[in-house]
Chains A and B, each alone.
Chain A
Amino acid sequence: MERMNRFQRFLQIVEAQDPSAKAIVFERNGSLVSLSFGEVLKRVRETNVPKGNNLGIFCSGDLNTLLAILKASDLGKTITLFNPMDEEGVLKEQLIASGVDALIGPEEVVEAFGPLLSKTKKNDLGGKILFFTSGTTSSAKAVILDQARLCSSAYNGASLLPLEPKDELLCALPLSHVFGFVCSWLWAWECGASIALSRGLRSLFSDFQFFKPTAVSLVPQMAAFLTAKRLFNPELRLILIGAGPCDDVVLQGIRSMGIRLSYGYGLSETSSGVALSLGDDPRAFSIVPDDEVKLAEDGEILVKAPSTVFEGYLNHPEDTAASFDEDGYLKTGDFGEFDERGLLHLKGRKKDMLALDDGTKMFLPEHEAKLRALLGLEDIALLQDASHHVVLAVGKGVPSQEIEEKVERYNDGLSRGQKIVSVKYLEGPLPRNSAGKIKRYQIKLPE
């Protein structure tokens, strides 16, 4: 296994070793079509991308998306990746903040968002790759990564959890998400294996029977659904779950089907994987080779990994500086502890942010400020219940139809995964530290 620093190197190296090796499988007119690593190289050479230094790519998950990313990155352009399924308002904010000067993607989406290009704050970062970290508007921040970091992340993952060249990884996650980019694409190519491009949201449920993949990376919500409906194919031997909390029942369900399970822990800021579970306990994580992980005094997980840790947040220098401690370790915002075998266990969130089971994040201060104003209540907090659903806790709360109705209306502006599913009224006030900050992890929700 070799560490790459450019995406094209995967193609060149595998092609030199085995010219017939499959790189990509996809559907065309109901049939399976495959391209070898050499054929993909050729297709990349033939691909045209618009002029501009910072290209915005709407990741629709088809072959053209992949070719555009490969071509633009090879030309040394900065790329900003967008999820066309995000809310229109979110996409607008992201687009303006990103500084893109040209767009690539489905015609109707490019047409709809093209007029915004004149409003973007232009910047030329010189060959970076930008991923937005959340689905909110005012707090939407892009992490600055590059090819070398993403390739290193794939190398790290493949070192602990290698695929075989004969493996086929179903690429069903959005490439606008770092976990999807690395774990449903680059991980396979690092191992000389192929990826099968999912036919899209509507076909995901039958993709497993259609492509017969041997491996797949999923966010917890997808894993839960596919497991409950038993939609996996018999050839599937490995599932990697990441980007959010996952219930034991799902992990056990996958294992009961005889499929190997690995659970990943990582952040966009670390180019995805920091640690992977490899043994019988899916919640006991082994640290990847490049990462040095230690715990702060309060138990927060700190990571140092020059090969994979991000350069910073685009246009948010204060947030970037605040992300690192004085020794240059990235503060993850997660609590953890090491067991006697040196394996890492997650112990909850420290940051004012929720990692949702659909792989997205929810930054809480802005929502809580809006809810305080809307409800006329000061002592409130958003958090996740045992099922990972978002709930609103009200300190010294008295059940009220008016509150519930206002929360219901507030939900209209939230994406599906962020919606507040219930209001929990606490007998006492919310626990706070001496500075008055809510100690979210100490809130005990009533039944």
Chain B
Amino acid sequence: MDRNQIKEKVVKIIKDNLPEFADKEIDETTRINTEANFDSMTFVYVMCKIEAAFDIKIPERRWDKMKTLADMLNEIEKAIAKKK
């Protein structure tokens, strides 16, 4: 799975779970950590959905380091590579 395919899947999960993002253009520079309604519970929920979608586990201590969509994709790529 290449980065674009990962991105497509992640963006869909974010849009499906966060109405605030539904009509927004999301690119790799989009900061996902300051959205008012992306609180810690929603973040955990979205992370669980992402982990399930890619069958990976990203250590919880890494979660807060993901500021932008690009950060998130980097972590997912790392976790997928580790799985192989």
Contact = CB atoms under 8 A, between A and B. Distances in A.
Nearest to A204: B44
Interface string A365-383: 0000000000000000000
A99 B32 CA distance: 37
Given A201-B60, A202-B48, A416-B64, A225 B36 contact: no
A389 interface: yes
Interface string A156-174: 0000000000000000000
B55 interface: no
B44 A411 contact: no
Nearest to B45: A205
Interface in B36-50: 36, 39-45, 47-48
A412 B40 contact: no
Contact of B51 (A85, A202, A389, A411): A202
Interface residues of A, number: 28
Interface in A389-438: 389, 408, 411-412, 415-417, 419-422
Given A408-B34, A422-B36, A222 B51 contact: no
Nearest to A358: B40
A408 B31 contact: yes
A422 B37 CA distance: 12
A196 B16 CA distance: 31
A223 to B, nearest CB: 9
Contact of A221 (B33, B41, B67): B41
Nearest to B51: A202
Contacts of B40: 221, 358, 416-417
Contacts of B39: 221, 225, 357-358, 416-417
A225 B67 contact: no
A85 B34 contact: no
A225 B34 contact: no
Most buried by A among B31, B41, B42, B64: B41
A205 B33 contact: no
A229 B16 CA distance: 13
Given A221-B41, A358-B39, A205 B34 contact: no
A421 B34 contact: yes
A225 B43 CA distance: 11
A193 interface: no
11 contacts: A85-B60, A205-B45, A222-B41, A224-B41, A225-B39, A357-B39, A408-B31, A412-B33, A412-B67, A416-B43, A421-B34
Interface of A: 84-85, 87-88, 201-202, 204-205, 221-222, 224-226, 229, 357-358, 387, 389, 408, 411-412, 415-417, 419-422
